[in-house]
Amino acid sequence: MNQLQKMKKTLVTILCLLFFLEIQAQEEVTRIIDGDTFEISTGEKIRLIGINAPEMKDKYGLESKKYLINLIENKDVLLKTDPFTNDKDIYGRLLRYVFYGNDDVNKRIIRDGFAIAYLKYPFEKKDEYTNAELLAKSNKVGIWRGDERTTANNNNTKYYIAGSGILLLLISLIYYLRK
């Protein structure tokens, strides 16, 4: 076998290995639990890395869940781990990046405004997801529509009460001045 034939054989072998490494097992999404958690055909629950969607009881919770249903329910997705993240969370759910085709589902949910970047724990795509959240905020999409936010730190009630108190004080003042 001459040198050229050896190089061709080596090249074909390398290409075949790359092709087989690219083929990765996909999992069927059988049930969406909420905007950042779903179940696959094996019964395992998957929690999306780097995002936090509103809870079902919160504003936009149902909307976030419906968005994820439209994206991946009953579809085959690719699940990938993160080198900085544990394999499972404290509830036993697998922590994964989710890809549908070439689309990073975790990032898309943030970019389209149905979740925030969850920065409490380190993960590889922290900067990407932070930028996706900034884009969603600037485009005022999903949970970023209007002046409202749905994070746990939001507490508009105290401002409403304070405003009501001032209004009541003004009305009382006007009433007594008219007497």
117 vs 13, more confident = 117
What's this model's pTM, rounded to 2 decimal places? 0.70
Confidence bin at 27 (pLDDT 50/70/90):
very high
Q: What was the pLDDT predicted at 2?
A: 77
Which pLDDT band, with edges at 50, 70 and 90, does 146 fall under?
Answer: confident
CATH numeric code, 24-144: 2.40.50.90
pLDDT of 23 higher than 90: no
62-106 tens-digit pLDDT? 999 999 999 999 999 999 999 999 999 999 999 999 999 999 999
Q: What is the three-state SS of the chain?
A: CCHHHHHHHHHHHHHHHHHHHHCCCEEEEEEEEECCEEEECCCCEEEECCEECCCCCCCCHHHHHHHHHHHHCCCEEEEECCCCCCCECCCCCEEEEEEECCEEHHHHHHHCCCCEECCCCCCCCHHHHHHHHHHHHHHCCHHHCCCCCCCCCCCCHHHHHHHHHHHHHHHHHHHHHHC
